[in-house]
Structure formats: C-alpha cells, structure tokens
A and B are shown apart, each in its own frame.
Chain A
Amino acid sequence: MIRSQEMLINMGPQHPSTHGVLRLILRTDGEFVYDVDPCVGYLHRSLEKIAENLTYPQFIPITDRLDYLAAINCNFVYCHTVERLMGIEVPLRAQYIRVIACELNRIASHLIMFGTMGMDMGAFTPFLYAIRERERINDLLEELTGARLTYNYIRIGGVAHDIPEGWKEKCLEFINYFRPRIKEYNDLLSYNAIFMKRLGGVGVLTTEDAINYGVTGPNLRATGFKWDLRKNMPYSSYDKFEFEVPVGTGEGGKLGDAFDRYMIRIKEMMESSKIIEQALLSLPEGEIMAKVPRVLKVKEGEIYFAAENPRGETGFYIKSNGGTKPERVKIRGASFSNIHALKKVLQGVLIQDLVAIVGSFDIILPESDR
C-alpha cells in the first residue's frame, strides 16, 4: 500500500532547537508526527577506552567533558566510585564543600534548561536573564576552582583547594539575591498563559513507561513517582540537610506532561539554594583531603555507584585488576536512557509540540554519546 501523504523529514544534526547533535527522523504528514527515530552517536569520543590508558587521577579532567553543564557532578561520581572501591573515608569538611559545589552546579544547569525552554518557545528574553544569574555562579566557581566550565575540582579523597577568603559571604549574598529571581521567572515565563497552554497536557509519560525505559531524575519525578538518590540512597552527608523532593502535580493539565517536567526543575533550584545555605552556615573545620598515596594503586574488584545528576542518574562501573590504570570503565549516561523514552512519547504530536517535548526532557548529547 502506498502511503502518499506522508513524508520523511530529517530534523538533522544541525537544527536550532534540538540541543546538540541529535538527529530525529520524522514520519509526518505536514503537521502531525506519526513516528520518530532518534539517531545518536554524532559525538562519540570513546571516553571509556581512553580511561583504560590513563591512571585514576589523570581521568578526572576528562570526566568534566562528559556533561559540561554539570561538570562538578560528573567529577564527583567518578571520584566517589573510586573511593568506595578503595574504602577511603572522606573528611567531613570536604564532604560539605563537595555538596556546595555540586548544588551550585545544579542551579547553573537548571538555569540553562529554563533559558533554552523559553527560546524554543519563541520568548528570547528569559534566556538572557538566566545567563545573568549563571554568570554570577560562574564567577563564584571561578574563585573556588580556577575555571569557568571544566572545573576539575574534586580529587580522589577530597577536594583540590580550600575555600578562599570571603567566598562564604559572597556565596550567601548570591543566594539572597537569587531567591526573588525565581519568583520573577515564574511571573515572566512559567505562569504565562501562552506558555502554560503550549506545554500543558503535551507529551505525557506515565510512571510505568518511565521505569520500563530507564528514565531517571527530574523526568521520573515529574510522573508522580518520588525517587531521588539523595534521599533514598544518601551519600556524601546529604542526609544531614533538610530539603524536599518536588514531585509532579499535574498543574498544567495532566500528570507527567511537559509542564510538570519544566516546573520540577524550577522548584529544584529553590531546594538547592536551601541546601547551599544550610551547608554554608554549618561548615565544619578540618582537612580537605584524606591521606591518599601519591601513586594510586587500587585493589582488585569491581563496583558500580550512581549519583543524582541534574539530568538523572549518572553511574560509573569500574573494574580494577590491582594496577594504576583501570581495566574497564563503563559510564551510565542519564541522557541516553532519556532519549529512548522519546520514541514512546512523540507519537501523534504536532511538530511544534515535538520541539517543546524534546526541550522539556533536558537531554545533553555528550552524556548520551560519551
């Protein structure tokens, strides 16, 4: 049977609204999309193979490039996996500093999601407001770590440098400045009638589908299922802080639609600012690095550890055979599993809804392609 009305359109690797080099092959009849075929792999750099030729501390700057919008979180997952394999105990001050840096980076990553969501919908101003906040976070992290995008801050056993003079006051000032901004973002974009109508009820993902496809992170919590690794399997003294885990509520229309996924990230920014304030005010004294030998030889064994990145659950599986270089490193990228769920969600939507849904999943391609 000849389908004479449908065409195959290539939303190719270069497109203004697929974030990164994602290729989507659409079967559409002009407005409705009947089927989607995502093609990934345009950014494959074989990081896992590179890890087999570098020693454990040498691989840390490479993990920065895994998900460049949330670089400290990726550093942290790798270092903590090695620490768990070797049984190293990280001092408490280093744990608190790690939490502060990770949460600052989470705010920065969610700001980019907020900005690009507005830009995909056609509102160009919220992106620039988000960049204004992100510049201040970048300045703070530059004073702490020395770089603005690829931080390379966390080491096996602790952190690289201590907090400089006056940084704590600047960070508290930033948190006080940032809280009213979230209200401004809500007024300008989130509760705007046009925006809510664009995103409400579109791209519904049920909890059962999400768990079947391996979707994690804010996308899973938007379906109504409360699962956050920082609360369910706490690590690095997250259990000492009080914060809530926002869950999707179906404000925009249906539970688990694109508006829920967007709103959860705005609420998570609020919760992260609470964590940072609590950590700063109760920062203990002490050392910042545990006693780790200069030349690191890891004992034989294998381990898998996953942490809560801004995009989902990023995990490292390391297999060691007793030398200075790992035998096998496998990275579980959160965006790879999230892209799989696109095929289920994008059936029978309009092309404009497709852009909204792909944006609301907040995928980043280097993490998916490694």
Chain B
Amino acid sequence: MKVIKEIGWVIKTLIIGLLITVKYWFKPGSEITVQYPDERLTPAPRFRGILFNDVEKCTGCGICKMTCPIDCIEIESYGKGKARRPIHYAINIGQCMFCGLCVESCPEGCLKHTDRYEGSVYDLNDLYYQFVTKEQKKRFMELADKGIPVKEETK
C-alpha cells in the first residue's frame, strides 16, 4: 500500500513539472534574449558609464584625484585663484572601476558619466583618455596668465 502511494506521488510531481516546461515551450514570443549587437538596450539615466570631463568648466581643483581609490586620474593645473585651469587631464579607463566617487565629489559638475559601456580597443594605450587638447592647453595658459576666472568665461 505504501509502495503504491509512493509511486502515485512520484508520478504526480513529475507530471506537474512537465506541465510547467511545456507551457513555456509552446508560448509564442516568450524569448527574453536581446540580440546584441543588432538590438541594444539603453541604460538607466544614473548608469555609471565611461567618464567624460568638460575641461572648459574645470577649475583644476584636484578633488577627483584625491577621492579616487585607485589613483587613475592625472591632473596638472596652471594659474592661481579663480583663474586656475587644468593643462593636463587624463584618466586611465583601463584601471578605472567606475565606482563614481569622483563624479560625486566634483564641485563644478564638469566630470560626468556617459552611458557608453563599450570600451574595447585594439591597443591598450588607447585606453588612456586625455581630455585637454594641445590648442586648449595653449588657450588655457593664455587665459590664466591674463587672470580671467573660469566661471565668468563660461557664463
């Protein structure tokens, strides 16, 4: 008697399991895969993607460099007081862990996350992003010598 009850329990649970899989087997459109790279999903607004610094607004304070746990930001500033500007700003994206502490601590709001997450390159040195170009460097040094503050220029 106990044997028959056990066989009955076994058959019942097995059939219940089979019915669940067959439900998904014949349900049309139940695939949840996103066929990358033909379709891409857009990340959320707060997504911490690859960093971007708008050097026109940057005052070269260096707080981001102090906050980074990994020391992957390099910055060199020129000028005094409110006219201080960065003349060399580079982030090693290969080392960055995208924690977002630098973006939170930036007082001007010029360092931001983009929503790019595809950062593969063929050469490892391409992962060393420099944000101050040569003519920007020359222009910044001129403006800093003249003493024009950053905030007035970008108003």
Contacts and interface: CB of A to CB of B under 8 A. Distances in A.
Interface in B72-125: 97-101, 104, 113
Contacts of A150: 97, 99
A253 to B, nearest CB: 13
Interface string B33-50: 000000000011111100
Contacts, number: 66
Interface residues of B, number: 25
Contact of B69 (A54, A147, A160, A192): A54
Interface of B: 9-10, 13-14, 16-17, 20-21, 32, 43-48, 67-69, 97-101, 104, 113
A29 interface: no
A61 interface: yes
B14 A193 contact: yes
A242 B84 CA distance: 56
Interface of A: 54, 57-62, 125, 132, 135, 139, 142-147, 150, 152, 160-161, 164, 184, 187-189, 191-194
Contacts of A189: 17
Given A58-B69, A125-B21, A193-B9, A146 B46 contact: yes
A142 B13 contact: no
B48 A187 contact: no
Contacts of B47: 142, 146-147
B43 to A, nearest CB: 7
A191 B13 CA distance: 7
B144 to A, nearest CB: 26
A75 to B, nearest CB: 11
Going nearest first, the 4 A-B pairs with the smallest beta carbon separation are A61-B99, A146-B46, A193-B10, A58-B69
A118 to B, nearest CB: 11
